[in-house]
Amino acid sequence: MFKGVLFDLDGVITDTAEYHYKAWKKLADDLGITIDRKFNESLKGVSREDSLRLILEYGEMTDQITDAQFQALATEKNDNYVVMIEEFSEADVFPGILPLLKALKQHKIKIALASASKNGPILLEKMHISDYFDAIVNPASVPNGKPAPDIFIAAAESINVPVTDCIGIEDSKAGIAAIKASGVLPIGVGQAADLGSDIALVDATDKLTFDYLTTVWAS
Ligand code: B16
Ligand code: MG
C-alpha cells in the first residue's frame, strides 16, 4: 500500500492553471508575442522564471531583454496573477479533492505539496486546506525545477516516506516527467495527447477517489 501522496497544485487542486495562462497571455501580448493554449501546455508546472524564458525564446526576444527588464517582467506577471487569485476560497477547490484529502488522512497516508508555485502556501490558506498537508516543499529550495525530479524527491523526504511508497498527482507534461524521474508512481489529470498514454490518467479530479488510487497502486 502507498504511504504518501505528493500533490501538484495548479491544475490538480484548483484551477489556477487558467489564471497563470491569462497572466502570461497578457504579458506576451504586451510584448507583441502571440501565445496560445497549445504553447501554454509547455509552461504548465514550469517555474515563473523558466516560463518567461520560454516565452521570450518563442518570440525571439531573448537577446533584447536585460536582466533588470527580465526581473521586472516576472514581477509584473506575478502582480497580475496575485490580483486574479485574491478572492480564492474553499469554493475554488476542484471537485473530489477535499474528499480525497479527508480519506487519505483517515487512512493515515502522509500528504505533501510538490508545486513549482511560490504562491502555493497562500493558495492553500485561502482555500482552507493547509491543515491537510504534512509538508509543503519550498520550490526555491530545490536546485532544478520540473521536469527534473528534485521537487518530488524533496516532497517524499519531507514526509519521511521513500519515493517508491508514494503516488504523485500532476496535470502537466513537465510534472509527469518529474514524477517518473523521481521513482514516484504518477497519476495524471488530463488527456493522453498531452500527458502520454503510459500512465494512469483521469480526465477530471472527481475521479481521484481513494479507491481509484488504491486500484492504480495495486495494478
Ligand atoms: P508562481 P504547479 C506551477 O505550479 C504552474 O503550473 C506554473 O504555470 C507556474 O509558472 C509555476 O507554478 C510557478 O508559479 O509564479 O506562482 O511561483 O503546477 O507546479 O503547482
Ligand atoms: Mg500543475
C-alpha cell read off for 45: 508546472
CA distances (Å), origin 168, targets 54, 68, 88, 109, 152: 25, 36, 24, 13, 8
Per the prediction, the chain carries an average pLDDT of 96
**Over the stretch 179-214, which tens digit does the pLDDT of each residue have?**
999 999 999 999 999 999 999 999 999 999 999 999
For ligand 1, is residue 48 a contact (CB within 6 Å)? yes
**Under 8 Å between Cβ of 31 and 51:** no
**Over the stretch 58-69, which tens digit does the pLDDT of each residue have?**
999 999 999 999
For ligand 1, is residue 44 a contact (CB within 6 Å)? yes
* Amino acid letter for position 20: H
Instruction: Find where cell 516532497 sits.
Output: 155
Rounded distance, CA 215 to CA 47, Å? 32
Query: Is residue 45 pLDDT above 90, yes or no?
Result: no
The answer for 213, left when phi > 0, alpha when psi is -120 to 50, beta otherwise, is alpha
Residue to probe by mutation, ligand 1, list 7, 24, 47, most atoms within 8 Å of CB: 47
* Amino acid letter for position 99: P
Q: What value of ipTM does the predicted structure carry? A: 0.93
This prediction's pTM: 0.91
DSSP SS3 for 27:
helix
Quick one: which ligand is closest to 74's CA? 1
Clarify whether 10 is annotated catalytic.
yes
Task: Provide the pairing of β-strand 110-113 with 166-170.
Answer: unpaired
Helix and strand totals (H; E) in the chain: 10, 6
Rounded distance, CA 110 to CA 188, Å? 19
Q: What percent of the chain has a predicted confidence (pLDDT) above 90?
A: 96
**Over the stretch 81-137, which tens digit does the pLDDT of each residue have?**
999 999 999 999 999 999 999 999 999 999 999 999 999 999 999 999 999 999 999
Rounded distance, CA 92 to CA 123, Å? 10
CA distances (Å), origin 198, targets 2, 6, 181, 192, 194: 20, 19, 14, 8, 12
